[in-house]
Chains A and B, each alone.
Chain A
Amino acid sequence: MTKQMNLRLDEDLIKEFEELAEQENLDRSALVRKILIEGLQQERLNFALQKYMIKEISIERAAEIARIPLHDLILKMSQLGIPSNLTIEDFEKIL
């Protein structure tokens, strides 16, 4: 089921959408939908990683928030060089 959502955008931005839609052989709405879906996924991931990095949430919670498999999150974190949230103090407590 779809619902209508109205957005007010700058003329320049609309022009950019139209140009890219033509180049990609898509209609303008389809391109906006595609970009919104990809942008939303990326935003969820960024939000989850930020929360993880400031130690507010765990790694598995971050995967839940980002709505991606844990395997994928671990891979992405490794590629981005995001360090494990374990600290030297954590290791001193358990060793």
Chain B
Amino acid sequence: MPKFIFDACSLIYLTKINLKEKLTKLGEVIVSQTVKNELIEEIDQFEDAKILSRNIENKIIKESSYKLKDFFTTKNLGQGEKDTIEICLKDEGVLVTDDHKALNLALSIGLKPKTSEVILLDLLKKSVIDFEKFTKSFEELALIKALKPEVVKFIFTKAKKIIKNNRNNSTEEIK
């Protein structure tokens, strides 16, 4: 089963659009200790933090056992992001981050990161959600993240291609 190492912002976004519960259909959901603390920080003030805390208690979200060595010293990333990338690099796992700086650092060291938009597309590809659910969830995500119109268009184009491929594959199976 693939391991997904999540950054805090991605898990918060996916919680806001009520899709976090579906993530275990793709693989294990793992976070660093710093990210875990970020997710449940000032828990009484944030409803999402309460939901995430329950998920951690129920082991839907697991804490990584990897011993961090503070591999990255950049001051442009948060500690959670640095820890998440280090875990992916040393302990293997797919990085999920919704930040430009973190994503590009990961790419520069050979990782293949995903964002919450890509996770949505993966859920669609694996038929965990249908196109209607994808559209509703992605529209909510786009609103929360104030995604630029060209990004919204790009992701929808990818989603339509996935639907077309899924239909072609199921037609071939019937034949």
Q: Which residues of A contact B (CB under 8 A)?
A: 55-64, 69-72, 74-75, 77-78, 81-88, 90-95
Contact = CB atoms under 8 A, between A and B. Distances in A.
B76 A57 contact: yes
A78 B144 CA distance: 5
A83 B103 contact: no
Interface stretch (B60-68, B109-117, B127-135): B109-117
Contact of B12 (A55, A70, A90): A70
B41 A61 contact: no
A88 B98 contact: no
Nearest to A57: B76
Contacts, number: 124
Given A61-B76, A70-B38, A77-B146, A86 B151 contact: yes
Please report whether the interface of chain A is mostly helix, strand, loop or mixed according to DSSP.
helix
B54 interface: no
A55 B98 CA distance: 13
Interface stretch (B19-27, B42-50, B163-171): B42-50
B100 A90 contact: yes
| Chain B interface category by residue count | 35 or more
A72 to B, nearest CB: 7
Interface in B103-142: 103-104, 107, 112-115, 117-118, 121
Contacts of A86: 98-100, 103, 115, 145, 147, 151
A83 B145 CA distance: 6
B99 A59 contact: yes
B7 A84 contact: no
Contacts of B102: 58, 60
A6 B174 CA distance: 82
Q: Which of A56, A71, A92 has the most CB of B within 10 A?
A: A71
A91 B151 contact: yes
Interface string B64-95: 00000000000111111100000000000000
